């Protein structure tokens, strides 16, 4: 905020709200403020001198400059300390220019001397700053003491609340100066942060989170701290075995970490509501309807678990620590199925939101998008074209070897995802569309997608980028969500 336009804006805001005078630091800022307000200005110049502890308007030349810039009152340090110029010379210089003076005091003795030298106002500004550690409360007693010397007492210093300002008036203040509480956003924020931190209690533990990503093809378990993966294991999702076995396998994989975590996050393919898990598309993974995932995982691991859809978790991971740039973000995973997640206005959407693979497009009737673009579709389509038993990974190899049938499959999938990107842009206009998943991250796929987005005369131009966290976006994202919930912030 240390720039003339900010200081002038603060000044105008304060005057609009009823401030009857302003205290402004530096000749340049007094000039800038004088140009936009007509209320009285107390001007000061702050300097850090090598040979004197006096900081507030130590020199006559400063006092003169303030008068010329438009100050009505010039304030200066009036403490009894080594100083380059006397209070008397400062008072004389200001009075010669027809302006008033204010003595910033730390004690009643300072005020007595300053009044003897002819100052017009005495302030409590320097109380607490001359020796030792400054207190946090205002010095209302000094206000009362100074009031016995003169009616023209300005209460200033550490007045943070309207109640403290009222106390100053009751103690006899002629005027009250509020500084940091109005103009120093960084201080006000810190006061609130400290108060909130103590209200929240001890900050959430920094221990790692055990994050488990269960997809239609593979399951990844990872020990995640912040955005960092300390250790990870990938195993196949034994599709035929069912959720109890998938969880047991994840637990066995996590055994090696010896419970060096204190939170559990599950990012899973399929639909999550109230901690219960169902398949949207049982072809991607045959989850029985309404499986009590959170309860079962909590029992199995002996620790409260949190669950969210895999792609929704990955969207959050990319938003927080990956390709996200702070704007709205859509994440797409082209993997066994086609999943998605949306972060709007800094919030991850849950429930059904982002299930792009299940959308059917305006024509309706046709199969879902993932039934014509996913890794599972590639596998089935290769078989249909006479190449059975191949996974997407192999099909990409054949495509790179310029085999027409394989190139056709890859580019059909990419073309459909490109059209989806266009539709997403038209529906949500996100800053970025981030693509991940085994197929999405396969070499060359993203370039194909980006090159196939329909043109629309250049108006609809999605920014399609690769997932920076690669296949780890889901575990990183869900671990962060677990932490945020622990900290009561979601
Ligand atoms: P999940 O669906 O379990 O989250 P993945 O993101 O790895 O797991 O997606 C699995 C799909 O991605 C499968 O169809 C698999 O064949 C395909 N796939 C995995 N790795 C590659 C690769 N390097 N190149 C092309 N396809 C891949
Ligand atoms: C499916 C759907 C989504 C999931 C997406 C990607 C199921 C079981 N899954 O559209 O919930 O996000 O696949 O999942 O209905 P993946 O297994 O391909 O990573």
pLDDT tens per residue, the chain (490 residues)? Answer: 899 999 999 999 999 999 999 999 999 999 999 999 999 999 999 999 999 999 999 999 999 999 999 999 999 999 999 999 999 999 999 999 999 999 999 999 999 999 999 999 999 999 999 988 889 999 999 999 999 999 999 999 999 999 999 999 999 999 999 999 999 999 999 999 888 877 876 555 678 999 999 999 999 999 999 899 999 999 999 999 999 999 999 999 999 999 999 899 999 999 999 999 999 999 999 999 999 999 999 999 999 999 999 999 999 999 999 999 999 999 999 999 999 999 999 999 999 999 999 999 766 667 899 999 999 999 999 999 999 999 999 999 999 999 999 999 999 999 999 999 999 999 999 999 999 999 999 999 999 999 999 887 789 999 999 999 999 999 999 999 998 876 444 4
Is the beta carbon of 357 within 6 A of some atom in ligand 2?
yes
Nearest CA to ligand 2 atom 11: 270
CA of 410 to the centre of ligand 1 (A): 13
Question: 208-313 with 324-467: one CATH topology?
Answer: yes
Atom of ligand 1 nearest to the CA of 474: 4
Domain at 208-313, CATH class: alpha beta
Atom of ligand 2 nearest to the CA of 336: 18
CA of 289 to the centre of ligand 1 (A): 25
Q: How far apart are CA 445 and CA 410, in angstroms?
A: 8
**Residues lining ligand 1, CB < 6 A?**
215-218, 335-336, 375, 391-393, 396, 437-439, 442, 471
CA of 372 to the centre of ligand 2 (A): 14
Residue tagged 């990872």 (tokens): 222
Chain mean position to CA 339 = 26
Name the CATH code of domain 324-467 (choices 3.40.50.1820, 3.30.420.40, 3.40.50.1220, 3.40.50.450): 3.30.420.40
Q: For residue 260, what are its two tokens?
A: 């060096």
Report whether 290 contacts 237 (CB < 8 A): no
Residue of 246, 335, 389 with the most ligand 1 atoms within 8 Å of its CB, for mutation: 335
pTM flag (> 0.75):
no
CA of 390 to the centre of ligand 1 (A): 12
Domain at 4-189, CATH class: alpha beta
CA of 284 to the centre of ligand 2 (A): 6
- How is the chain split into domains, by residue range? 4-189, 208-313, 324-467
């Amino acid at each position: 905020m240390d720039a003339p336009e900010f200081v002038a804006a603060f000044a105008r805001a304060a005057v609009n709200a009823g401030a009857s005078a302003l205290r402004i630091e530096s000749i340049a800022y007094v000039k800038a403020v004088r140009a936009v307000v007509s209320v009285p200005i107390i001007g000061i110049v702050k300097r850090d001198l090598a040979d004197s502890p006096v900081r507030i308007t130590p020199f006559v030349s400063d006092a003169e400059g303030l008068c010329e810039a438009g100050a009505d009152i010039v304030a200066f340090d009036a403490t009894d300390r080594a100083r380059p110029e006397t209070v008397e010379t400062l008072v004389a210089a200001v009075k010669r220019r027809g302006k008033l003076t204010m003595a910033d005091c730390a004690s009643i003795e300072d005020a007595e001397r300053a009044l003897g030298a002819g100052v017009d106002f005495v302030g409590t500004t320097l109380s607490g700053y001359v020796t030792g550690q400054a207190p946090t409360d205002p010095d209302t007693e000094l206000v009362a003491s100074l009031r016995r010397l003169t009616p023209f007492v300005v209460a200033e210093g550490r007045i943070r609340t309207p109640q403290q300002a009222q106390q100053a008036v009751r103690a006899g203040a002629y005027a009250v100066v509020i500084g940091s509480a109005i103009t120093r956003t960084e201080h006000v924020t810190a006061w609130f942060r400290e108060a909130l931190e103590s209200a929240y209690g001890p900050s959430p533990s920094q221990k790692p989170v055990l994050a488990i990503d269960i997809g239609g093809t593979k399951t990844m378990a990872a020990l995640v701290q912040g955005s960092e993966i300390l250790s990870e294991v990938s195993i196949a999702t034994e599709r035929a075995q069912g959720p109890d076995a998938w969880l047991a396998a994840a637990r066995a994989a996590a055994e090696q970490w010896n419970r060096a975590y204190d939170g559990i996050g599950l990012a899973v393919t399929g639909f999550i509501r109230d901690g219960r898990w169902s398949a949207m598309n049982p072809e991607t993974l045959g989850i029985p309807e309404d499986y009590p995932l959170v309860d079962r995982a909590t029992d199995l691991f002996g620790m409260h678990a949190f669950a969210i859809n895999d792609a929704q978790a990955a969207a959050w991971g990319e938003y927080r620590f990956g390709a996200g740039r702070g704007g709205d973000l859509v994440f797409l995973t082209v993997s066994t199925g086609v999943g998605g997640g949306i972060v709007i206005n800094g919030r991850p959407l849950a429930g059904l939101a982002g299930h792009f693979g299940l959308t059917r497009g305006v024509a309706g009737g046709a199969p879902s998008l993932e039934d014509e673009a996913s890794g599972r579709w590639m596998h089935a389509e290769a078989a249909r074209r006479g190449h059975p038993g191949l996974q997407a990974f192999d099909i990409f190899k054949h495509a790179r070897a310029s085999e027409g049938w394989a190139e056709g499959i890859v580019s059909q999938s990419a073309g459909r995802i490109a059209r989806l990107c266009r539709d997403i842009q038209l529906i949500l206009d996100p800053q970025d569309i981030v693509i991940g998943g085994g197929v999405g991250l396969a070499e060359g796929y993203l370039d194909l997608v980006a090159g196939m987005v329909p043109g629309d005369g250049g108006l609809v131009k999605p920014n399609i980028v690769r997932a920076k966290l690669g296949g780890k976006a889901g575990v990183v994202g869900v671990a962060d969500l677990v932490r945020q919930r622990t900290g009561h912030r979601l």
